[in-house]
């Protein structure tokens, strides 16, 4: 409280000043100082709602994860048994492997496409970029349910992919891609690539505007080719954007419930199950609320670890 009353708006900009120096002039100049309670009133609605409907439910999930519960009868304490199961059960492990595989499609490929695209485009002055950005951002706006429906038709027996294959004389390979044990995960993954590639390209292009054109000119004077330029200028200087793209896309890959639900539902068999689908199945049909909760906790822990690591990467930028 005391600190609040004394540090006026003038002092706000230099919190590192020694307390004595700050106290005297601030106390003299600021007769009335808004007490913390006013600030807390402004924060109250946001913090209360967020606590009630986000934080407490998340903690409640942690609590539920310690029980065996079918959602109806009395829960029985299970200790860490559910967590043991999360790491031992082959179906749950499959979900983890699929989520990891999806990261390649949701993160690695789009970032690669975005970087290469940005490098090819950035060297040249562009007109009409507003329109290009509008189109490239479109997949960010369309609800993923609709994206899933569109792509089911792209991959269908008579869909675009097979049409192209037949035109190219590869009709043998034509099949219902999302129904194939071998191809479904890859097919779903490429939908993710479609969703986020445009975002990555636009993000990187806006980053390249920050890079001084002189650097490129100088490197070209020194005879650097496009590949060299890409590896030693574009990629290092875009590090903050790459870290941001990574955190957005990795979270999208790990929380890919919407897309999987509308395209394959986890099938055929379990070949495309991801944590979100299993949590949904186990908690709202499978009668294993505790296990679903444990899985949700592990998923959250992984997301937190990734976000924290990437945040550190962003901050380290020179």
Partner 1 sequence: MSATKTGPGQHRGHGRRPGPGEVAGRIGAPVVLALFMAAVIVPFLPLLSAAVQPAGTPLTGLELPRGLHLENFAGAWVTAGFGSLLWSSVLIALAVVPASVFFASLAGYALATMNFRGREKIFAYLLLGLAIPTEVTVIPLYYDLRAIGLTNTRWGLVLVEIAAFMPFGAFWMRSHFSTMPRALIEAAKLDGASSWRILWGVLMPNSRPAVTTLGVLYFVWCWNQFMLPLILIQDPAQRTAPAGLGFFTGQYNVDVPLLAAATVIVIAPVVLVYLFFQRHFIRGVLDGALKG
User: Residue 184 class from Cβ within 10 Å (0-12 exposed, 13-18 middle, 19+ buried)?
Assistant: buried
- Within residues 229-258, the interface with partner 1 by CB under 8 A covers 240-241, 244, 248, 251, 254-255, 257-258
Q: How far apart are CA 181 and CA 203, in angstroms?
A: 35
Please, which residue, 136 or 273, has the CB nearer to partner 1? 136
Among 134, 171, 173, 316, binds partner 1 (CB under 8 A): 134
Q: How far apart are CA 268 and CA 57, in angstroms?
A: 32
Q: How far apart are CA 236 and CA 215, in angstroms?
A: 13
Q: How far apart are CA 64 and CA 292, in angstroms?
A: 9
Question: Got the DSSP string for 231-282?
Answer: IIIIHHHTHHHHHHHHHHHHHHHHT-HHHHHHHTTT-STTTT--HHHHHHHH
Q: How far apart are CA 314 and CA 54, in angstroms?
A: 26
- Within residues 15-74, the interface with partner 1 by CB under 8 A covers 34-36, 38-40, 42-43, 45-47, 49-50, 52-58, 60-61, 64, 71
Among 133, 165, 174, 175, binds partner 1 (CB under 8 A): 133
Among 18, 76, 88, 124, binds partner 1 (CB under 8 A): 124
Contact segment (CB under 8 A) with partner 1 among 95-103, 124-132, 170-178, 181-189 equals 124-132
Provide the sign of the torsion angle of the four alpha carbons 126, 194, 225, 212, taken in this order: positive
- Within residues 190-219, the interface with partner 1 by CB under 8 A covers 194, 197-199, 201-203, 206, 214, 217-218
Contact segment (CB under 8 A) with partner 1 among 78-86, 94-102, 137-145, 169-177 equals 137-145
Tokens 């909760």 map to which residue?
Answer: 293
Please, which residue, 111 or 289, has the CB nearer to partner 1? 289
- Within residues 282-311, the interface with partner 1 by CB under 8 A covers 283-284, 289, 292-293, 296-297, 299-300, 303-304, 307
- Within residues 88-107, the interface with partner 1 by CB under 8 A covers none
- Within residues 257-286, the interface with partner 1 by CB under 8 A covers 257-258, 261-262, 275-276, 279-280, 283-284
Residues linked to residue 67 through DSSP beta bridges, in sequence order? 77
Please, which residue, 56 or 97, has the CB nearer to partner 1? 56
């Amino acid at each position: 409280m005391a600190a609040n009353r004394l540090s006026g708006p003038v002092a706000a900009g230099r919190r590192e000043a020694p307390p004595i120096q700050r106290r005297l002039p601030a106390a003299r100049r600021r007769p009335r100082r808004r007490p913390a309670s006013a600030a807390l009133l402004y924060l109250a609605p946001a913090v209360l709602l967020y606590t009630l409907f986000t934080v407490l439910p998340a903690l409640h999930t942690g609590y539920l994860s310690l029980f065996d519960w079918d959602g109806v009868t009395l829960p029985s304490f299970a200790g860490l048994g559910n967590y043991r199961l999360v790491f031992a059960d082959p179906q749950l492990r499959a979900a983890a492997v699929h989520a990891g595989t999806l990261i390649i499609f949701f993160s690695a490929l789009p970032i690669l496409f975005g970087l290469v695209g940005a490098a090819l485009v950035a060297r040249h002055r562009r007109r009409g970029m507003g329109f290009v950005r509008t189109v490239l951002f479109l997949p960010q706006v369309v609800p993923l349910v609709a994206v899933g429906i569109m792509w089911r038709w792209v991959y269908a027996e008579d869909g675009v992919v097979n049409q192209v294959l037949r035109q190219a004389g590869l009709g043998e390979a034509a099949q219902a891609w999302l129904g194939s044990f071998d191809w479904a995960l890859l097919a779903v993954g490429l939908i993710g690539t479609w969703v986020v590639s445009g975002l990555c390209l636009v993000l990187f292009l806006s980053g390249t505007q920050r890079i001084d054109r002189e650097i490129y000119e100088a490197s070209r004077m020194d005879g650097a080719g496009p590949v060299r330029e890409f590896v030693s200028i574009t990629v290092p200087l875009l590090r903050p954007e790459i870290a941001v793209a990574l955190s957005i896309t990795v979270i999208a890959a790990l929380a890919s419930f919407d897309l999987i639900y509308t395209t394959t539902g986890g099938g055929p068999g379990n070949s495309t199950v991801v944590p979100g689908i299993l949590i949904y199945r186990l908690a709202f049909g499978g009668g294993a609320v505790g296990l679903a909760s444990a899985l949700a906790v592990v998923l959250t822990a992984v997301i937190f670890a990734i976000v924290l690591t990437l945040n550190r990467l962003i901050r380290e930028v020179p």
